[in-house]
Structure 1
């Protein structure tokens, strides 16, 4: 940080009174442990971090030191006493990845911590507010329980209950629960927490997730009651005639594990846990399927089932059962929550007794209704993405047909009462809801849509003067959110499977828009669970189905999908800089690269799905424009390059050399096999075949311009349309963007005829669709074609963030100013803090405003054309003129640049 050091030197020479001065830094905020504000189940050495903010708009503010206090009680931390750990003043600018180094931590104990920071002049900013974390249990006394006499094919879902006594004044109560497949826990008649569809989906024979809650305020001295309601989820998928079922797979019947630690004011404690003394009964959920929907019969609800004294003849003793076998692990993915509510924008009576509600947006979640009718009357709710010609709801885009249909139903519990209900354990992707009374009479007082997806924090913003681009951005981001649950799914209705290729192909857009540390870690752990003994990584994780058993073995193993283990892990490191996570993943990454190398013949990897869904003759699917082996071999090359870099980060010199050699050998083999020097094209000259090696840097230097020209010419030949599949598309976008072909990219984005984003918008799509032309037979809610998001954020907005680069280059801001646009505004709440970039063209001048977070620096590329001059009106340090830009180095703070004709 040259500017910062120069400022400090001037201050020292001038005799600034630093001892009396106020710190340039505000107190540290946003304290997190293991990427969570107050985690309840920390299993490893806690990793601490915080955010910084400067006072005013000072340039060059930063952290020179920190001090962390950790205490065993709120009282001690309030007195600035770290009885568990006092780091002392540590000279460091680190604000994350600060590992705990205090006394041995006690399982299930809660610890309180805070931090003091010093600014770049050595002046303290004062103590932060206190935060806390709780260590995970290491001993489980709870037993798995199930309803006696049931099997995995029992339709009615059980409910469980138990009464217990809180003997004296509580100081803390923590409840750990895993209800499989999905569960909802109640204490004294009130739902615990606001998470939905928990716990996370995993390979339950390897890993079982549990959720932890502080329930101290929900308990009272005396008798209390705990109740658990369950659904099948992905744990138990059973074939049901008439109801849609994508796959059949069961880990067992529904079961529950609960362990609650009660800590009393006198220092004693006890544990309430599931065992043979708990009770179970058939519950009101009479059908539960992740794919087929959910039926709820309120006439079968047991009054007071989750309250003290809620006894009934329906209850009987539970059966202690064997668990599915997986290791109990705390949740790492953020909880699913109701993130938005959609009210109907239109209500249409399509026939007698059949009404269709239009919620205006295709989203993932469920309908919520308020109804009144005769006891036993049944309301059927059929969600869907599209409408049939007669106005009824269609599910053809989401797999309905020979596999059956999906719906929710509610049976009224009492005549004349207003009753509110929504499904609990089955969600769907839909915009429309068809409502009809299939038995008895009733009326719907209201209907709304609850959007349910990951609560991962929003981190990015993009807005521009171009309404089409803003609409495309919204289209992509909506589909991303709709497929962010406890893992990344391909669609929220038809499959709900964790297809892996999207986690690296469209990762720049995913990671720009949300804080996905938890979801990427969950994905990596799912992959590790599913990796085969030979190193193969399947196309989906968890691997809930083996496609070969259905006659589709090609879908089990593909380099473009399996490489997510390497490329996704590295992408997460670039975004978050978590060396510990990279080190944990490294052996899994190594095994996969060894596997993929073993599949090469003469250096060429020619199997799998290739450039899936490219645009050629016939229906989309297997690649048509590119020879098998192009994308697979380039995956091996890219994997090797990533391993070379990862090995360097981890200090593995021998591996650096080994993977560098593998990358070079693979590049040579690829060029030997596919490059035609006489025509300066690869393979058959498809957009994918030419763009991928150009983006990856393996085209001979003297041929790069010609290869680029062929890509541009091919795009123009297709009237500024894409022909790549989902694999080649992001590489083509990057190749064009980095070559300065941004006017062409804008022209492609502005097309309204298929294949294009504009054709999807013209078809009425409100989330990105699976097929470029919004084919109604394909999903209307896929994010695999969302590569344009990188051009919006890194291209037009110019924010390029990479923690794997040298410190001064981690933040690079290089906006692409395109004719036909007046302004662009972007921001990204990075691991280092908020980065902002905005440009505007007006009155013959271009202005660029940049904001760099405290404790960081950035390289800013200000675009200039012939006859133009760039000026920094805030004193930025000019480095050079290069490639149509004036390059500056700036420290933290706000910076303003003006480009004018001279």
Structure 2
């Protein structure tokens, strides 16, 4: 803690807030022996630091005192660490552990203990015991049930279950969880996820029933498609494994497990497909099938079926949930018997139907993002058949019937209703991740872009980061590559991306190669591959996770797989260059794929960036490597092949035209020789201006163009590109009615919910609002609002792993006011726009220290606290 100036007194002692275990509060089913604790240290005043902590773990919350803790006591640990603190006590399966933490500040003052928290272990090495995978041949989505008796007071009950591809779990007529499309999608030959559910309150004395309806998901997909999901090595009919553990107050333990005592029948869901949709026959519904007293004597005996090859592992990432229910803004009868409902927003999810119709009436719901010639457009050239995103409900004829699908989701804004007039509601569904950032600005376009990008990203989070909820639902690695910085700055994705990084490792071939979609059933190793810019997401995302969350364990767990992958990439380098087949995908005018420039340029640049990230990872975990040397060789190869030193520009022999991406990417990644940086940047700005301040980039270049221009003094040029309203631009989309980011710059873009062209939001956060997260787990931030043209004010508030960071600035005439909030454990380097250091006032001045001045900014380095800067010459 800094020495206090005369007249100042320290703030209050440190208070730990937001205690979490493995990035979440009170997790059920933790499947690791040494989970990690975290908290946010808070204090009033300025310059507070944490100097030590003490963690207690006990079997009950009332035992969380230094004298009574009966499980583990870390003792006083001299450390500023507030996350990644490993539990080192005993760890038994199916056990709840309670914990609390106490902190000491930089003056060694002892703080109060935090409120008690807990985590509960999953099955660990105990596994599913006597439970077996069960299923059977049915003509529709199978229903499975098992009766059992409860004969005493229950202390607690847990249901551990995995139903593949998806399971709608029931107990005594009630849903076991509000999760949908669960468990999460994985490479099932390597990993199968199970859920842990607290079902204590759902049990009753006497006869009880546990049941499940199973959907196909990607595990049992039968719809033929170009990615061959219907031929994946794991493809099989739906199946279930479950273990219900009931603990009585008197100490008895009963278990109900999946075996041949369960009963099975075909249910009312006649078909389900992630691409085609679902068909449900209300006449086949079996009311009460999941409750006591139902006669299931005609049901068949469930069969033991082959277990998937993947290891059963507790699901640790956020489940998919229905986030919101929305009424249509307009319903139009476009012709007799055909209605189109417009929900006014483009999202992912499905529609809930309410209808009164005669028995046997089929009501179809066709979902799409656009309407043409009086029909919702639902076409997909990558999937066989003419049924795309269409649900069908066959009425039972019993008054008002309400139904919604459970085993598929769609990308859409419009739904076409045929067969009968029906009421519909939009059910927005995505991975239930937490938003961490709030952005505001007097420039309405920037707010519009941020809202659209947030909605687009959320629409593409369904256990994996997908490319589009309408067409593919695939985990394209290149999309996550370019989108990750914006995604991590918008949402808490610690658990989500940890899971997907596991999918990356699971999808790796023996050779070390990674496919372009992850998970993959085998597609993407030769199709549209090798494409260096795509799977290099692996080291780059690991480095991003360290930047945001300081997760060293993640780096260590992936180091061996990362080395094998990069060995494969470096092993195919020819003449210092990496061959790639995709390149800067979908720039303006190229709706069929990559841009015309030599794709070895971006391929080599991204491999350079990847091996540099790996070099940093190796240094962080103390693993020797030669990646820095490999990076230097790649930079030399790229410059030899593509840098025209006389013209100070990058180009290839077979494409003499100027390409913005070919020049912006080397600038962004630090590949341009130092003596040419200014000239290459000037050439880039000149090309943008010559095009009428239009971008000419695809998904790779779009994310680096504006930051590069701004970094090299062309922030006004970047602003004109950002606020452009003519094609190609974001403004062009929104003038056409967009509310999400599109896949292509053209009006007839195939997908209208695709985030990889929307990375302008990263520039808005980092250059307009002026907040850049640096360092390990946000231990250092840079505040530098250097793209202020056409903006009078902007603010950003972000919840980092160390606490809240806020940057807010307002410009009035030539006076700029800048507010910065810095959490404990973080240092901020604040660049205040000014003509001279003397023009800036810092409050509190006593703690701000002596500033430096460079390139139009007065620079302060400040510790935790609330800071105010005023510049009279901004």
C-alpha contact 2:218 2:229 (8 A) present in aligned 1: no
Structure 1 residues 401 and 322: alpha-carbon distance in aligned structure 2, compared to 1, 3 A threshold: closer
1:835: which partner in 2? 805
1:389: which partner in 2? 373
Distance 1:782 1:679 in 2: 36
C-alpha contact 1:537 1:565 (8 A) present in aligned 2: no
Matched, 1:814 2:757: no
Distance 1:443 1:692 in 2: 53
Structure 1 residues 459 and 293: alpha-carbon distance in aligned structure 2, compared to 1, 3 A threshold: same
| Cα deviations by residue, 1:512-545 (Å, 9 ceiling, x for unpaired) | 1101011111111111111111111110111135
Matched, 1:676 2:644: yes
C-alpha contact 1:868 1:901 (8 A) present in aligned 2: no
Distance 1:101 1:331 in 2: 22
Q: How does 1:110-149 map to 2 (within 5 A)?
A: 110-137=96-123, 138=125, 139-149=127-137
Q: How does 1:337-486 map to 2 (within 5 A)?
A: 337-390=321-374, 392-396=375-379, 403-416=386-399, 418-437=400-419, 443-444=421-422, 446-486=423-463
Matched, 1:793 2:761: no
2:619 equivalent among 629, 643, 648 = 648
How big is the shift at 1:272? 1.4
Distance 2:13 2:381 in 1: 55
How big is the shift at 1:371? 2.0
Structure 1 residues 383 and 831: alpha-carbon distance in aligned structure 2, compared to 1, 3 A threshold: same
Matched, 1:717 2:685: no
How big is the shift at 1:261? 1.4
Distance 2:617 2:333 in 1: 59
Distance 1:74 1:266 in 2: 21
Let me know the Cα RMSD of the aligned residues: 2.2
C-alpha contact 2:223 2:273 (8 A) present in aligned 1: no
1:174: which partner in 2? 158
1:510: which partner in 2? 487
1:294: which partner in 2? 278
C-alpha contact 2:550 2:777 (8 A) present in aligned 1: no
How big is the shift at 1:92? 2.0
| Cα deviations by residue, 1:612-663 (Å, 9 ceiling, x for unpaired) | 11235x5341221x212101111221122111111110112x31xx111111
Distance 1:300 1:535 in 2: 49
1:881: which partner in 2? 853
Distance 2:314 2:351 in 1: 30
C-alpha contact 1:462 1:792 (8 A) present in aligned 2: no
Distance 2:536 2:862 in 1: 36
How big is the shift at 1:397? 7.4
| Cα deviations by residue, 1:787-819 (Å, 9 ceiling, x for unpaired) | 211101111111111234995xx1111112522
Distance 1:804 1:121 in 2: 24
How big is the shift at 1:266? 2.4
C-alpha contact 1:756 1:773 (8 A) present in aligned 2: no
C-alpha contact 2:223 2:276 (8 A) present in aligned 1: no
Distance 2:869 2:732 in 1: 37
Structure 1 residues 219 and 80: alpha-carbon distance in aligned structure 2, compared to 1, 3 A threshold: farther
Distance 1:305 1:341 in 2: 27
2:570: which partner in 1? 597
Structure 1 residues 145 and 640: alpha-carbon distance in aligned structure 2, compared to 1, 3 A threshold: closer
Structure 1 residues 805 and 174: alpha-carbon distance in aligned structure 2, compared to 1, 3 A threshold: closer
How big is the shift at 1:219? 1.3
C-alpha contact 1:817 1:863 (8 A) present in aligned 2: no
C-alpha contact 1:244 1:406 (8 A) present in aligned 2: no
C-alpha contact 1:59 1:891 (8 A) present in aligned 2: yes
1:859: which partner in 2? 829
Q: Bigger shift: 179-188 or 132-141?
A: 132-141
Distance 2:59 2:857 in 1: 55
Q: Bigger shift: 89-98 or 76-85?
A: 76-85
SS at match of 1:521: helix
| Cα deviations by residue, 1:770-794 (Å, 9 ceiling, x for unpaired) | 0012424x11111111221110111
Unpaired runs of 5+ residues, structure 1, are none
| Cα deviations by residue, 1:678-736 (Å, 9 ceiling, x for unpaired) | 11111244111111111111211111111001111111222111112111222223311
TM-score, normalising length: structure 1: 0.92
Distance 1:577 1:633 in 2: 28
How big is the shift at 1:868? 7.8
2:41 equivalent among 52, 77, 84 = 52
Q: Bigger shift: 577-586 or 499-508?
A: 499-508
SS at match of 1:837: strand
1:5: which partner in 2? 2
How big is the shift at 1:823? 0.6
1:71: which partner in 2? 58
Q: How does 1:602-617 map to 2 (within 5 A)?
A: 602-616=575-589
1:185: which partner in 2? 169
Distance 1:578 1:100 in 2: 15
| Cα deviations by residue, 1:841-883 (Å, 9 ceiling, x for unpaired) | 1143111111111332211111113798221132222331112
C-alpha contact 1:302 1:312 (8 A) present in aligned 2: no
SS at match of 2:850: strand
Structure 1 residues 149 and 421: alpha-carbon distance in aligned structure 2, compared to 1, 3 A threshold: closer
Distance 1:896 1:759 in 2: 38
1:632 equivalent among 593, 603, 607 = 603
Q: Bigger shift: 248-257 or 344-353?
A: 248-257
Structure 1 residues 307 and 245: alpha-carbon distance in aligned structure 2, compared to 1, 3 A threshold: farther
Q: Bigger shift: 877-886 or 823-832?
A: 877-886
1:310: which partner in 2? 294
Structure 1 residues 87 and 146: alpha-carbon distance in aligned structure 2, compared to 1, 3 A threshold: closer
Matched, 1:686 2:659: yes
| Cα deviations by residue, 1:736-760 (Å, 9 ceiling, x for unpaired) | 1221322111101111121111111
Q: How does 1:82-231 map to 2 (within 5 A)?
A: 82-102=69-89, 104-137=90-123, 138=125, 139-150=127-138, 154=139, 156-231=140-215
1:269 equivalent among 253, 264, 276 = 253
Structure 1 residues 665 and 470: alpha-carbon distance in aligned structure 2, compared to 1, 3 A threshold: same
Structure 1 residues 775 and 878: alpha-carbon distance in aligned structure 2, compared to 1, 3 A threshold: farther
1:327: which partner in 2? 311
Q: How does 1:241-252 map to 2 (within 5 A)?
A: 247-249=229-231, 251-252=235-236
Distance 2:51 2:66 in 1: 24
1:24 equivalent among 13, 16, 21 = 13
Distance 2:254 2:49 in 1: 47
How big is the shift at 1:346? 1.0
SS at match of 2:731: helix
Structure 1 residues 784 and 571: alpha-carbon distance in aligned structure 2, compared to 1, 3 A threshold: same
Distance 1:176 1:671 in 2: 56
1:753: which partner in 2? 726
C-alpha contact 1:690 1:711 (8 A) present in aligned 2: yes
| Cα deviations by residue, 1:374-400 (Å, 9 ceiling, x for unpaired) | 23322211111111132x211247868
Distance 1:711 1:312 in 2: 72
Distance 2:348 2:228 in 1: 17
